[in-house]
Amino acid sequence: MRTVEIIGAPTDYGANRRGVDMGPSAIRYGGLAAELEGAGVACIDGGDLAVPRAEERDPDTDQPRAGMAKFLRETADVCERLADRVEGALADGTVPLTLGGDHSIAIGSLVGAARGASIGAVWFDAHADLNTPETTPSGNVHGMPLAAALGIGAFEDVGWANAPGLAPENVALVGLRSVDDAERELIRERGFTAYTMSDIDERGITAVTEEALRIASDGVDGVHISLDLDWLDPNEAPGVGTPVRGGVTYREAHTAMEIVHEAGSLRSMELVEVNPTLDQHNETAELATELAASAFGKRVL
């Protein structure tokens, strides 16, 4: 039986709206453990990282390399500790499932998963998350984690942020519909595999997800799945900080996660950007638990 270790990273340093730090609690309350057990996997809850509240910190953007990135020092601290926890879970033979918190925590997830291994990543998100401190229009680090892990721009040779076992050719972005100009240029320059919602409309979620997983898993030890709940249409997942109309449906999201399980390459995963202060009856958190269960093998029959 496969064992999943839940790791909470309750941070909102990287976001522009408060409340996402309560995401891990909301997802647990939504029945995550029961859903995973229903998928036939054992579940260990490793608790939450201790994360000081943003009000207790200074969003100083004058740090070396920070540029316009807010709370970069605090983000580094969280991600360094999260990377150690993810690495430890893998060393224990478990699959780390990190609960955000905002998407900046993916830096730690990727770094930990890539220690001593080559990995790919499939990024299920409305956004590309390829901004850097030089290009960000907002200063919010939740729009930078993929760029950070790949050492792009100001993140080049930044030890806490870089995942050396991750290469652009093994990254696939799925479901894009809100991409900044600098990110669009970077996707073209670096040759990232990127699928917009138009690709999903034209080809279907099954074909797109299967192809994304083939690309991400080519020649690597395993694949990291990053699932931002704003990937779904806001009618399906209202409790997110940066909703964008026109996302995937409930059934498309489950189909994609079922394909993740069938591919057999899942190494680590995160669920991010659930903001219970913006949610309705905790339905976004509950949806996150259901999608995680699908990724770990839960089926109707």
Q: Which of 12, 48, 228, 252 is catalytic?
A: 228
The answer to whether residue 280 sits within a structural domain is: yes
Tens-place pLDDT, residues 73-126: 999 999 999 999 999 999 999 999 999 999 999 999 999 999 999 999 999 999
Decide if 273 is catalytic.
Answer: yes
At 160, phi and psi to the nearest 5?
-70, -20
Q: Which of 87, 103, 252, 286 is catalytic?
A: 103
Contact residues for 176 (Cβ-Cβ < 8 A; gap 6+): 125, 126, 127, 128, 194, 195, 196, 197
Q: Structural domain tally of the chain?
A: 1
The answer to whether residue 254 sits within a structural domain is: yes
The answer to whether residue 188 sits within a structural domain is: yes
Tens-place pLDDT, residues 161-188: 999 999 999 999 999 999 999 999 999 9
> pLDDT grade, residue 55 (50/70/90)?
low
DSSP 38-97: HTT-EEEEEEE-----GGGS-----STTTTT-TTHHHHHHHHHHHHHHHHHHHHTT-EEE
The answer to whether residue 166 sits within a structural domain is: yes
Q: Which of 74, 87, 127, 254 is catalytic?
A: 127
Which two tokens mark 185?
């240029």
Q: Which of 12, 21, 48, 230 is catalytic?
A: 230
The answer to whether residue 80 sits within a structural domain is: yes
Per-chain mean pLDDT for the chain: 94
pTM of the model: 0.95
**Whole-number Å distance between alpha carbons of 48 and 96:** 13
Q: Which of 5, 87, 125, 233 is catalytic?
A: 125
Which two tokens mark 234?
């806001």
pLDDT at 165: 96
The answer to whether residue 301 sits within a structural domain is: no
Q: Which of 12, 74, 87, 129 is catalytic?
A: 129
Decide if 129 is catalytic.
Answer: yes
Decide if 45 is catalytic.
Answer: no
> Contact 144/94 with Cβ under 8 angstroms?
no
| DSSP 3-state of 207 | helix
Q: What CATH number does residue 54 fall under?
A: 3.40.800.10
The answer to whether residue 134 sits within a structural domain is: yes
Decide if 127 is catalytic.
Answer: yes
Tens-place pLDDT, residues 209-252: 999 999 999 999 999 999 999 999 999 999 999 999 999 999 99
The answer to whether residue 300 sits within a structural domain is: no
**Whole-number Å distance between alpha carbons of 179 and 266:** 26
List the domain range (segments joined by +) for residue 37.
3-295
